[in-house]
Amino acid sequence: MKNRIFVSIVFIFLVLSCKRTDVTHESGIAAEIKEEIRHNTLTFVAVGDNLFHDSLIRDGLTDGVYNFSSIYSEVKNIIQDADLAFINQETVMAGTSFGYSGFPLFNTPQSLARTLADTGFDIVNLANNHAMDMGRAGLHNTIDLFETIPGITVIGVRKEGPSARIIVKNNIVLGFLAYTFSLNGIPLPADNPNLVSVINRERMSKEINELRPFVDFLIVSMHWGAEYLLQPDADQTNLARFLAEHNVDLIIGHHPHVLQKVETITLEDGRKTLCYYSLGNFASHQRQRERIIGGMLALTFSKTESNLNPLELSISDSGLIPVITHYDNSFRNTKVYPLWAYTEELLEEHGLKIRQDPDISIEFFNDVLERIQTKIIMFNPFS
């Protein structure tokens, strides 16, 4: 009983002081133990579908050179100010010999890869339904291309080896996995079925369980759901629960090409998983009002280490930065704007409003954001 009281007193003293405790040894000499605390944070941003249609490819051509940097000029500071930035690159970059093309079999000029890196993206997901549009050789060329660019980590595809990727920054260890629901009917090579990670619960369970012990936070990119559905379907919500039960911290969803809700999944034991079901489109030339508003996931990972207390990990300041993809009546001058910088005057010049949807309004964009069920961020949270 006395021992229990002594332990309780020591514990209370530790909590109140948060500085040090004195431990008396049998020798009677008091030894001072100082608490050493190290706190690290890592800011993170993620965007949805970067989908290059024929008209978007043509918009980047000037004097025989493809340059897409202007598309991202209005959001570049947000992306660069974050410690790490993720993008779902929906189209492969197989090279000129394959011919540049949009829907249904996409191939984008390879100059876009360098533009994404210069814009500030660090993690590029290629596990999506268009990964095999140019076949095995086209995907290999895309992988090879990104490997020439320092600082870029490709997830969801690989020529060989494991699927998991680990990034260490600011003393925080992030683990990444990525999966797609479909390859549009194009089969994976018989001798390399691991070329693209396809949704398979048995495989996902194995890969997550193997990666989890080695990382502070586990992030899974999911290309899933039904196109243009404004709410997640049963397959998405069931898979999200499955991932939560496997101790995934963050789910980044894409493919529906429209914004869907954000949810925190809480298990009975208190564990939480943050799920962004769909971030919508980033850059694209889709031509419906719901498809020109997308979002940038923004949050902060935190890690506190102490020699006297357990490791503390948390995700904070999570929210959505709304963005609008603008293009004019000729499908030129494409640019992604944060909603706070998108004016009524710009909207009047939008090709969608001029060509087919004269009633589209800023108010419509605000109405969309109300159903997302998360904090809406109308400033650069990383500056």
Using alpha carbons only, what angle is made at residue 132 by residues 280 and 324, rounded to the nearest 5 degrees? 20
Task: Determine phi and psi for 38, rounding to 5 degrees.
Answer: -125, 120
What CA–CA distances, in Å, run from 75 to 45, 81, 325, 336?
11, 10, 11, 7
Q: Is residue 382 part of a domain?
A: no
Q: Is residue 59 part of a domain?
A: yes
Q: How far is CA 3 from the centre of its chain?
A: 50
- The owner of tokens 């010999």 is 97
Q: With CA atoms as reference, report the closest residue to 346 among 367, 380, 323, 368.
A: 323
Residues 164 and 311 in one domain: yes
Residues 328 and 224 in one domain: yes
- Cα gap 224→203, rounded to integer Å: 16
Residues 28 and 144 in one domain: no
- Cα gap 149→87, rounded to integer Å: 15
Token pair for residue 116? Answer: 């994404």
Q: What is the pLDDT of residue 6?
A: 33
What CA–CA distances, in Å, run from 337 to 5, 117, 219, 319?
61, 19, 26, 17
Q: Is residue 18 part of a domain?
A: yes
CATH at residue 184: 3.60.21.10
The CB-side HSE value for 165 (13 A sphere, CA atoms) comes to 21
For 22-51, give one letter per residue: b (16+ CB within 10 A) or e: eeeeeeeeeeeeeeeeeeebbbbbbbbbbb
Token pair for residue 82? Answer: 């974050």
Q: What is the pLDDT of residue 30?
A: 54
C-alpha dihedral sign at 48, 51, 55, 59: positive
Q: Do residues 46 and 82 touch, judged by C-beta distance below 8 A?
A: no
Residues 17 and 150 in one domain: no
The boundaries of the domain holding residue 27 are 2-35
Point out which residues pair with 217 in neighbouring strands.
174
The DSSP symbol for 377 reads P
Residues 193 and 291 in one domain: yes
Residuewise pLDDT in 10s, the chain (383 residues):
333 333 333 333 333 333 343 444 444 455 678 889 999 999 999 999 999 999 999 999 999 999 999 999 999 999 999 999 999 999 999 999 999 999 999 999 999 999 999 999 999 999 999 999 999 999 999 999 999 999 999 999 999 999 999 999 999 999 999 999 999 999 999 999 999 999 999 999 999 999 999 999 999 999 999 999 999 999 999 999 999 999 999 999 999 999 999 999 999 999 999 999 999 999 999 999 999 999 999 999 999 999 999 999 999 999 999 999 999 999 999 999 999 999 999 999 999 999 999 999 999 999 999 999 999 999 999 99
For 234, the enclosing helix (H) or strand (E) is: helix 234-245
Domain count for the chain: 2
Residues 18 and 147 in one domain: no
What CA–CA distances, in Å, run from 204 to 232, 234, 248?
20, 18, 11
Q: What is the pLDDT of residue 31?
A: 63
For 176, the enclosing helix (H) or strand (E) is: strand 172-180
Q: Is residue 155 part of a domain?
A: yes
